[in-house]
Amino acid sequence: MKNLIVSKLSNKQPTKDISLDDIKYKIPKVTSKKNVVIKISKDVTFSKKTIPIIAGPNGVENRELMFKIAKFLKKNGMHIIRGHAYKPLTFPYRSKSYKESLDIGMDWMDEVKKYTGMSVVTELTEIKYLERVCKTADILQIGSRNMQNLELLREAALTGYPIILKRHFGASLRDMLGAAEHILVEGNNKLILCERGIAAPHTHKETSRFMLDVQAIVALKEIVKYPIISDPSHASFWAPWVSNLAYASIASGCDGLIIEMHPTPSKSAVDPLQPLNFRQFKNFLKQANKVSKVFKRKII
């Protein structure tokens, strides 16, 4: 009987769950017991004590928008702004209002960064954009749709930049950690893992595409020392739920949050239902500070 259990635990067969063999042979780096602290700037460190907020719009739509948001965030004590100049879309058709701002968008982000001193998170969608992205970004985001784009992971890792790796909405934790291992094996230890919701039937809301897997945060924290951040905006797709899901993420032990926001959400060129407006963001911050204190963490 004992042998049977042991042989099950050291599972030699491929499985969707993480086995002891996996930890030993397949994902030894990402499950290493060494404590990880990732310093982004003088103001921002991902650590056991801090919960950095990465806030901003979905896309870098225009210069004015980015300045407006950056000034608001800065005034409210935020240090990291997000926004994507290059963007993968689920469907190939684009609304009239939406255009990828591409290199020009990165130039606007550059101006915003110089003006505010904030750190920049932006998505790297293809290797050909790597050079331009690296000129401005402080953290490279690998989107969920690219989680297993191994060439992209490798090239991103080789830059030495901090990387946010988002879990694909259909991927197991095992597959996610396998992808993370591809980054670590290139010698880049500045890895941040992001839970951003999984596809599952779960709700009365047809606008809510994904379900935030808070259990994944707790489970990952058990075996991974790299920061685990949460993106309730992309998970719920629905602004009225974002704050509560963020508090649940903090209670689950997350080490950072991605919060999408926009001065006029209904005018957001992509996903207008999910960004918080300025008032909602301020309220969120107030509550998030209280919740994080309960867990002896500090929102930054």
Q: Which residues bind Mn ion (CB under 5 A)?
A: 58
Q: Is the CB of 277 or the CB of 289 nearer to ligand PEP? A: 277
Q: Is the CB of 182 or the CB of 234 nearer to Mn ion? A: 234
Selected binder of ligand PEP within 19, 31, 47, 58 (CB under 6 A): 58
Q: Is the CB of 19 or the CB of 141 nearer to Mn ion? A: 141
Q: Is the CB of 176 or the CB of 269 nearer to Mn ion? A: 269
Of Mn ion, ligand PEP, none, which one does residue 167 interact with (CB within 5 to 8 Å by kind)? none
* Shortest CB 166 distance to ligand PEP, Å: 4
Of ligand PEP, Mn ion, none, which one does residue 262 interact with (CB within 5 to 8 Å by kind)? none
Tokens (6 digits) for 113: 């960064």
Q: What share of the chain is helix, strand, coil (3-state, %, to 5)?
A: 40, 15, 45
* Shortest CB 143 distance to ligand PEP, Å: 3
When asked if residue 166 is in the footprint of ligand PEP (CB under 6 A), the reply is yes
When asked if residue 262 is in the footprint of ligand PEP (CB under 6 A), the reply is no
How many alpha carbons fall within 13 Å on the CB side of residue 181?
Answer: 17
Q: Is the CB of 184 or the CB of 259 nearer to Mn ion? A: 259
* Shortest CB 123 distance to ligand PEP, Å: 6
* Shortest CB 144 distance to ligand PEP, Å: 4
Sign of CA dihedral 97, 81, 254, 19: positive
The residue among 235, 213, 216, 212 whose CA lies nearest residue 224 is: 216
DSSP lists the bridge partners of residue 164 as: 141, 192
Distance CA 94, CA 234 (A): 19
- Please state the three-class secondary structure of 4-64 as a single string: HHHHHHCCCCCCCCCCHHHHHHHCCCCCCCCCCCEECCCCCEECCCEECEEEECCECCCHH
When asked if residue 209 is in the footprint of ligand PEP (CB under 6 A), the reply is no
| Count of other CB atoms within 10 angstroms of residue 207 | 11
Q: Which residues bind ligand PEP (CB under 6 A)?
A: 58, 84, 143-145, 166, 196, 234
